[in-house]
Amino acid sequence: MYRQAICAVFVNKENKILLGFNSKDGVYTMCQGGIEEGETPKEACKREVKEELGFKISDEDLEAEFEEIVKCEWVKDKSLDYYETEFIGQELKIFKIFFDEEKMNFSQSNEFENPVWIYPHEIHKFNISLGKIKFKLEAYKEIIKIIGI
């Protein structure tokens, strides 16, 4: 069974995407997280952005919601307590959000520290897939292809 989750891909006017450092896992990540019971994917997207980045987004900020789902399986290693769950991975619902510098200001969280803007072709230069989260780099490459940048 796959955990249902969202991935909020922020794109700026230079067509760069946003990554933040997750100190818990020691990797760079896009804004993402699980869909809670009774929550729509759009509601989950708005909640995750607020939790991880510290600002609210509206329906108008959501440039696109994609039908494609990106599936990624977690590393099967019983020593990793982070993934002690009934889930074997996650299915990511993708949202593209245009970053509006005028109204979106970051606040620090341990899930999204030191935000950095990168060109999509640079994603392999960042620690995306280390240790227990080896699936992310390929998933992120697929997401970038889906959103068309």
**For 34-90, what is each residue's pLDDT tens digit?**
999 999 999 999 999 999 998 899 999 999 999 999 998 776 655 455 556 788 888
**54 near 109, Cβ under 8 Å?**
yes
Distances (CA, A) of 132 to 20, 31, 80: 18, 18, 7
Query: Per the confidence metrics, is the pTM higher than 0.75?
Result: yes
- Residue 130 is predicted with a pLDDT of 58
- Cα separation, 127 vs 107, whole angstroms: 22
pLDDT category of residue 133 using cuts at 50, 70 and 90: low
Q: Which of 97, 95, 112, 149 is nearest to 19 (CA)?
A: 112
Between 72 and 95, residue with greater pLDDT: 95
Long-range (24+ apart) CB contacts under 8 A made by 67-70 are: 68/94, 68/146, 69/93, 69/94, 70/7, 70/94, 70/139, 70/142, 70/143, 70/146
User: What's the CATH number for 2-147?
Assistant: 3.90.79.10
- Residue 97 is predicted with a pLDDT of 97
Between 23 and 30, residue with greater pLDDT: 30
